[in-house]
A and B are shown apart, each in its own frame.
Chain A
């Protein structure tokens, strides 16, 4: 199963750690995590299910192509990392 992990900043707000979950796209992997951590959804996606502007998703060290829908395919051995993008002021 794909592996997904989260930056400490995210984990400081929502109790979620590294996990191996089902899914063949970035979005379906995230949906698997949301199933047991529903509050995480609102931290990463907006009301419309679109990735928040300042959330970055990386698969095997490369930013995903489809930022909005997260339809990028993933395979059994892929590693997904979710973090806050650089921003602020």
Chain B
């Protein structure tokens, strides 16, 4: 059972701890500073926090297990654009995609057999690797230099970004990354080479002959991999829910999901690949709970059916949106934590059957996770 919850918000980084039958806020860090991403490395317990200072840019901080002070590390920095590198424009706005860090959007550990290796996904679309616990970072040019990047575009942000990094639990060389909007990219050689794998995804509002099913332009809002059955992926896409049974190489669509197949967040049970959770919203530019009724949807049968869960969630009209990193499941698969744009934080300890509200007064929540 998890005893600690970490929360990255628009105005800082918060820790909640179990106290008796409930939870209490135990600490706050980086107050006033947006924290779009954090990561606890399960291999050594170190916590990494991206602090996105509005004046001074993104900084990276680390606290090792047993320590009580944050250490500032050099954040990922894009190299100077070589003169012979092509200028890539956002395909819609025709604005040059900069070689410059805009946001740290994902942080993951590099596998049990790769101590010290970390991966970092960013806006405007660069993937970075660290081999020394975040002390230094290198842009993964094998992905950044792919010509298909010219088809990537920004989703909710001005430029594209890597929001999901899934390291195969049995082979650290196999990694899938989700890009909004640039599909799903997969490497089998630790990042030396990459292939597009968003095959099967599509937009419902773009005709196929106009590129609606082009994998290079897909917007998988989030992808997650089942740790106990790594063949199984789930994705909450901009239009539909998708499932993959072949390690994320192809995707099966689920469109008939009440109250909506649109949303941002998805979590998969760590041992039961058929069990996954989503937080639906009214598609696609509105982004609030359908009819103001805030629910979590869950499938237990691999997407053949979905149930809407609402016990303990607002019974009145509510307009909470849950961002892509703001729903998380613990290693047991029993506990879920969820934070919303309106600053609410809920926990479920029965796989989503019921929820308890910890607070409704946080800043807008960007990311959540149980801490070991």
Contact = CB atoms under 8 A, between A and B. Distances in A.
B72 A39 contact: yes
Interface string A17-49: 000000000000000000000010011101110
B100 A46 contact: yes
A87 interface: yes
Interface string B52-66: 011111010000000
Sorting the interface of chain B by its residue count into under 10, 10 to 19, 20 to 34 or 35 or more gives 10 to 19
A85 B56 CA distance: 10
B57 A52 contact: yes
Contacts of B80: 48
Contacts of B57: 42-43, 46, 52
A84 B55 contact: yes
A13 B56 contact: yes
Interface in B99-140: 99-101
A48 B56 contact: no
Interface string B62-87: 00000000001011011010000000
Contacts of A88: 54
B98 interface: yes
A47 B56 contact: no
A13 B59 CA distance: 10
Contacts of A42: 56-57, 59, 74-75, 77
A44 B56 contact: yes
A85 B100 CA distance: 20
Contact of B55 (A39, A47, A50, A87): A87
Contacts of B101: 46-47
Interface in B303-355: none
A22 B80 CA distance: 26
Give chain B's interface secondary structure class: loop
Contacts of A61: none
A10 to B, nearest CB: 8
Contacts of A50: 100
Given A39-B72, A47-B77, A47-B78, A55 B100 contact: no
B55 A85 contact: yes
Interface string A40-72: 001110111010101100000000000000000
Contacts of A84: 55-56
B100 A48 contact: yes
A10 B53 CA distance: 11
A50 B78 CA distance: 13
B300 to A, nearest CB: 41
Nearest to B80: A48
Nearest to B101: A47
Contacts of B74: 42
Given A13-B56, A42-B57, A43-B56, A48 B72 contact: no
Given A39-B72, A47-B78, A48-B80, A9 B55 contact: yes
Contacts of B78: 47-48
A48 B98 contact: yes
Contacts of A87: 54-55
Contacts of A10: 56
A54 B99 contact: no
B56 A52 contact: yes
Contacts of A13: 53, 56, 59
A53 B72 CA distance: 22
Contacts of A9: 55
Nearest to A42: B57
Contacts of B100: 46-48, 50
Q: Which 7 A-B pairs have the closest CB atoms?
A: A84-B55, A43-B56, A47-B100, A54-B55, A47-B78, A47-B77, A46-B100
Given A9-B55, A47-B98, A55-B56, 10 more contacts: A42-B77, A43-B56, A47-B78, A47-B99, A48-B100, A54-B54, A54-B55, A84-B55, A84-B56, A88-B54
